[in-house]
């Protein structure tokens, strides 16, 4: 029964009781009257009037906010800072509080280093070459590897001699040595033949050593192709012309020398499969001199890649753990039930505050299974909240569930109703509602208590017999059977009167 109907009944009851008391104690006593001499009894009447008729389904329920989130940290630890206070409004993503994340960040950094190391290992493994290539020309003077040997990039695999190359050393002072660097092109002057030959710097002694005559001597070594006419016993000097036009000469001429054996390094990592050179063979720069078995390398790459995937997953988890230290709001709303302070320790999984979005409020109304077929989305609802008495809040059905719940041998369906003016309502308030399933305005109507319902669409009312004034039944066609009024479709017209028989008997 709705609050509105309950109040109506209460008012009627008060009037009836008051009238009864007045009649019993204050009305003057009359002498008995001979009923045979009296005319037809005079009953109170009510007129057919124009107005609205509403049929509603009554249900009880509770108010819920649009969204409600309990905030539970995923990490345990000391609270460093709380960014909100009770009653604050926050947006989704706003920080709420922060937990000491020193340990989590350290774990993340360690795992990050491990991932970088594994990536570098894989890069190095993939950079391994299946062949050893000669880095210079010459005649093989010594082979230092054999099949089955393990080599790394710096392993010397062979030595080459090159009679077509000569080397020359020159001495320079501290102010001159700054102009030289390994790999640069210079000129060698042959004092015997007064000719110039190109050369390349291969060593630069920047430390220097003291000379017997005082000062510091710095040595520069160059290599040049022997044109065939230079004997190692000849002398030469090193010259270099700077971009500014300054000519830098070595202090003295020196004898040419035969170039030392050239060391050929593996330049790769792996197990030697085949050696393709022998002593006294002539090799050219870029020639393949050995082949490497990379079978183990492929296996190592697969193992490292698997380890990398595992480490990257762990890294993501560590990063997520570190990010969990700063807790943000999952929804927009107002802070309630705040139970956290800076400096205190919190445990993971424990609710420390609640965020409620009250931008919209709903009533979750419990509807009986016999009424649920009449409930549809979009129907208007009169909502009553216990805290606000008889105040009516307009609502609308927004969701009708497809499944009910059984309790005490009764099946109930939780219908969701949007309360259109519920700004002052609080989550959890209780109340009830009338869900309007039929509604017509400006139609002929009679109070529900004066119409006897025979079947759907038919009813009877009591009217005066026009011949003798006695009460008589009259059949009428009815429409909507509302909570307070019944629609009269035919049989009576607005203004017609019907009798109130036997007092007020409200039904429904």
Please write the tens of the pLDDT for every residue from 337-382: 999 999 999 998 999 999 998 888 999 999 999 999 999 999 999 9
State phi, psi for 124 to the nearest 5 degrees: -65, -40
The pairs formed by 457-460 with CB atoms below 8 angstroms and a separation of 24 or more are 459/486
Q: What is the pLDDT of residues 74-117, one digit of tens each?
A: 888 899 999 999 999 999 999 999 998 888 888 889 999 999 99
Angstrom distance (rounded) from CA 468 to CA 452: 23
Domain boundaries 163-254, CATH class: mainly beta
At 418 the pLDDT is 95
At 101 the pLDDT is 81
Angstrom distance (rounded) from CA 319 to CA 105: 8
Residue 114 Cα to chain centre, angstroms: 26
Q: How confident is the model at residue 276 (pLDDT cuts 50, 70, 90)?
A: very high
Consecutive H or E run containing 321: helix 295-323
pLDDT, average across residues 129-144: 92
Q: How confident is the model at residue 148 (pLDDT cuts 50, 70, 90)?
A: very high
Does the domain at 73-96+328-350 match CATH 2.40.50.100? Answer given as yes
Neighbours of 128 (CB within 10 A): 18
At 505 the pLDDT is 43
At 31 the pLDDT is 52
Residues near 262 by Cβ (< 8 Å), separated by ≥ 6?
135, 136, 138, 159, 160, 161, 162
At the topology level of CATH, where does 131-159+262-293 sit? OB fold (Dihydrolipoamide Acetyltransferase, E2P) (2.40.50)
Q: What is the pLDDT of residues 447-491, one digit of tens each?
A: 999 999 999 899 999 999 988 888 999 999 999 998 899 999 999
Neighbours of 500 (CB within 10 A): 16
Give the global pTM.
0.47
Residue 382 Cα to chain centre, angstroms: 39
Domain layout of the chain by residue ranges: 60-65+357-434, 73-96+328-350, 107-126+297-321, 131-159+262-293, 163-254
Q: How confident is the model at residue 243 (pLDDT cuts 50, 70, 90)?
A: very high
How do beta strands 247-249 and 282-283 pair? unpaired
CA 507 → CA 7, 105, 439, distances in Å? 14, 71, 19
Strands (E) across 181-251 are located at 185-190, 195-204, 209-210, 216-225, 235-241, 247-249
At 108 the pLDDT is 87
Structure tokens at 177: 């040595």
Burial 177-191 (b: 16+ CB within 10 A, else e): bebbeeeeebbbbbe
Decide whether 60-65+357-434 matches 163-254 in CATH topology: yes
> Percent of the chain scored above 90 by pLDDT?
66
Q: Are 128 and 113 in contact (CB under 8 A)?
A: no
Angstrom distance (rounded) from CA 381 to CA 435: 4
How far is it between the farthest Cα atoms of the chain?
173
Q: Are 255 and 234 in contact (CB under 8 A)?
A: yes
Res. 275: pLDDT tops 80:
yes
- Minimal CA–CA distance to 292: which of 259, 275, 270? 270
Q: What is the pLDDT of residues 162-207, one digit of tens each?
A: 878 889 999 999 999 999 999 999 999 998 788 899 999 999 999 9
State phi, psi for 402 to the nearest 5 degrees: -90, -10
Res. 17: pLDDT tops 50:
no
Consecutive H or E run containing 366: strand 353-368
Res. 25: pLDDT tops 60:
no
Residues near 290 by Cβ (< 8 Å), separated by ≥ 6?
131, 132, 145, 157, 266, 272, 273, 274, 275, 276, 277
3-state per-residue secondary structure call for 474-499: EEEEEEEECCCEEEEEECCCCCCEEE
Res. 23: pLDDT tops 90:
no
Res. 240: pLDDT tops 80:
yes
- What CATH number is given for 60-65+357-434 in this structure? 2.40.30.170
Angstrom distance (rounded) from CA 491 to CA 462: 12
Q: What is the pLDDT of residues 373-417, one digit of tens each?
A: 999 999 999 999 999 999 999 999 999 999 999 988 899 999 999
């Amino acid at each position: 029964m709705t609050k509105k109907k309950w109040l109506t009944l209460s008012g009627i009851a008060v009037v009836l009781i008051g009238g009864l008391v007045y009649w019993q104690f204050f009305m003057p006593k009359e002498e008995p009257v001979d009923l045979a001499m009296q005319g037809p009894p005079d009953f109170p009447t009510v007129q057919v009037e124009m107005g609205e008729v509403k049929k509603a389904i009554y249900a009880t329920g509770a108010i819920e906010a649009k969204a409600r989130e309990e905030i539970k940290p995923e990490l345990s630890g000391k609270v460093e800072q709380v960014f909100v206070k009770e009653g604050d409004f926050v947006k989704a993503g706003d920080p709420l509080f922060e937990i000491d994340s020193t340990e989590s960040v350290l774990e993340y950094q360690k795992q990050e280093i491990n991932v970088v190391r594994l990536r570098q290992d894989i890069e190095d493994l993939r950079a391994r070459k299946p062949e050893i290539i000669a880095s210079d020309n010459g005649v093989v003077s010594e082979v230092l590897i054999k099949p089955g040997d393990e080599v790394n990039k710096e392993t010397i695999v062979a030595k080459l001699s090159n009679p077509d190359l000569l080397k020359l050393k020159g001495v320079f002072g501290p102010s001159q040595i700054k102009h030289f660097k390994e790999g640069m092109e210079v000129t060698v002057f042959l004092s015997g033949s007064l000719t110039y030959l190109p050369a390349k710097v291969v060593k630069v002694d920047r430390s220097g050593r003291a000379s017997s005559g005082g000062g510091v001597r710095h040595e520069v070594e160059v290599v040049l192709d022997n044109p065939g006419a230079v004997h190692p016993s000849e002398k030469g000097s090193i010259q270099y012309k700077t971009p500014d036009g300054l000519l830098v000469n070595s202090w003295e001429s020196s004898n040419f020398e035969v170039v030392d054996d050239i060391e050929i390094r593996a330049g790769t990592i792996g197990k030697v499969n085949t050696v393709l050179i022998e002593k006294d063979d002539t090799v050219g720069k870029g020639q393949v001199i050995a082949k490497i078995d990379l079978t183990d390398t492929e296996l190592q790459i697969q193992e490292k890649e698997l380890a990398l995937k595992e480490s990257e997953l762990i890294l993501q988890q560590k990063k997520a753990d570190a990010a969990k230290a700063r807790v943000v709001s999952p929804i927009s709303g107002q802070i309630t039930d705040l139970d956290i302070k800076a400096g205190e320790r919190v445990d993971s999984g424990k609710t420390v505050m609640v965020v409620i979005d009250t931008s919209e409020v709903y009533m979750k109304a419990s509807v009986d299974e016999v009424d649920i077929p009449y409930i549809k989305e979009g129907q208007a609802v009169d909502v009553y909240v216990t805290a606000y008495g008889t105040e009516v809040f307009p609502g609308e059905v927004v969701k009708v569930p497809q499944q009910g719940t059984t309790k005490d041998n009764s099946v109930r369906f939780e219908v969701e109703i949007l309360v259109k003016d519920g700004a002052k309502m609080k989550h959890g308030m209780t109340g009830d509602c009338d869900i309007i399933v039929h509604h017509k305005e400006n139609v002929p109507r009679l109070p529900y208590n004066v119409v006897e319902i025979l079947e759907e669409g038919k009813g009877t009312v009591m009217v005066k017999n026009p011949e003798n004034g006695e009460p008589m039944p009259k059949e009428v066609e009815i429409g909507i059977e509302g909570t307070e009024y019944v629609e009269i479709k035919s049989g009576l017209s607005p203004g017609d009167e019907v009798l109130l028989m036997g007092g007020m008997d409200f039904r429904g």
